[in-house]
């Protein structure tokens, strides 16, 4: 009794992903990317109101929506900066290894 190995490989190969799209990014795309990275809550709220707004009708008190959203964006930016400054101050990958890196 002989055992034959399969001729086919079962390893799945994925094609490499392109780093850039075939079309250049337009001004509107760059603006939306910037808005989503710097003030995501406000951007998503405005886009939601643009899409859903006509079915809801006029919003009686827009400040009741705008103020919490802007405060959420401010908190998001503050937290992002705190995390970035914390991670940069505790990064030991660029420090020389002289034994002082362990002392904080």
Global pTM exceeds 0.75? no
Helical (H) or strand (E) element with 66: helix 63-89
Over residues 54-88, the pLDDT tens digits come to: 888 888 888 999 999 999 999 999 999 998 887 77
For residue 69, what are its two tokens? 């959203």
Q: Is residue 9, in this structure, part of any structural domain at all?
A: no
- Concatenated DSSP letters of 20-34: S-SSPPPHHHHHHHH
Please return the burial class of 16, using the count of CB atoms within 10 Å of its CB with bins 0-12, 13-18 and 19+: exposed
Over residues 1-41, the pLDDT tens digits come to: 555 555 555 556 666 666 665 567 789 888 888 888 889 99
The shares of helix, strand and coil residues in the chain, as percent rounded to the nearest 5, are 55, 0, 45
- The residue segments making up the domain with residue 39 are 28-89
DSSP assigned state of 49: H
Q: Is residue 2, in this structure, part of any structural domain at all?
A: no
Beta carbons within 10 angstroms of residue 50's beta carbon: 9
* Domain count for the chain: 1
For residue 33, what are its two tokens? 């990317």
Q: Is residue 99, in this structure, part of any structural domain at all?
A: no
Instruction: With beta carbons less than 8 A apart as the criterion, state whether 45 and 69 touch.
Output: yes
């Amino acid at each position: 009794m002989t055992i034959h190995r399969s001729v086919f490989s079962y390893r799945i190969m994925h094609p490499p992903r392109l780093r850039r799209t075939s079309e250049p990014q337009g001004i509107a795309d760059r603006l939306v990317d910037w808005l989503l990275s710097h003030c995501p809550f406000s951007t998503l709220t405005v886009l939601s109101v643009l899409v859903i707004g006509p079915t809801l009708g006029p919003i009686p008190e827009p400040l009741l929506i705008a103020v919490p959203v802007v405060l959420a964006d401010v908190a998001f930016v503050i937290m992002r900066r705190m995390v970035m400054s914390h991670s940069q101050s505790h990064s030991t990958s660029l420090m020389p290894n002289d034994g002082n890196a362990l002392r904080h």
